[in-house]
Amino acid sequence: MPSKRQNGRLLNSSLLCDVGNTNFSFSDGKKISVEHFNISSLDERVYYISVNHYWEKRLEGEENWVNLRSYIDFEKYYDSMGIDRIMCCEAVEDGVVVDAGSAITVDVIKRGHHEGGFIVPGFKAMRKCFKDISPRLDVSFNFDLDLARIPRNTEDALSYGAIAPLVSHIASLSKALPVILTGGDAQILLPLIPNAVIDTELVFKGMKKIIQGQA
């Protein structure tokens, strides 16, 4: 566990970083590709999470980089749960958190407790899956289709199969809970889910909450 001295440094932190498979995303809005990132370009203290195993190992020996993974109470979640997904959940007291990226994760949070969730492929992955089945299924999704009507063409049939079950599951889980969307495809889902809101800073809000918990 981090020392008290580290805790003090955590509380004084202002620069946060979400290390992904393709980019270093910073709380000040900067985004740098993993191929072009230079560790020595930053000498200030940075608090980070990482889903990139290579860079997580590289950063272990850097004194000014602090991995927030060691501050997580995994008893609230489970060992194999993605750290970025956990941070999104940490940011919410009550709600259904939908992170729409390469994969789409859906988590239910009640009174700060993680009730559980599920994962489905993201829309790009779904499209690739259909294309791999047959070239005739290589079509764009129609996100404007009427989900109350059964489709009568291939484009809408594929779109319905990708969208309708997801939206229905989210609706069944949310009920009286707000739905908070984040991730690259959040804007796509926004019109499809009543009363949903987008929060692009959800990961960083969760990181800040973890930091404040070290007081």
The catalytic residues are: 84
Q: Are 197 and 179 in contact (CB under 8 A)?
A: yes
Phi then psi dihedrals of residue 14, to 5 deg: -130, -20
According to DSSP, residue 2 is labeled -
Closest CA to 116 of 173, 186, 190: 173
Euclidean distance between the first and final Cα of the chain, in Å?
14
Residue where the block lists tokens 């980089």: 65
| Token pair of 123 as six digits | 């829309």
Phi then psi dihedrals of residue 31, to 5 deg: -140, 125
CA–CA gap between residue 84 and residue 57 (Å, rounded):
17
CA–CA gap between residue 29 and residue 132 (Å, rounded):
36
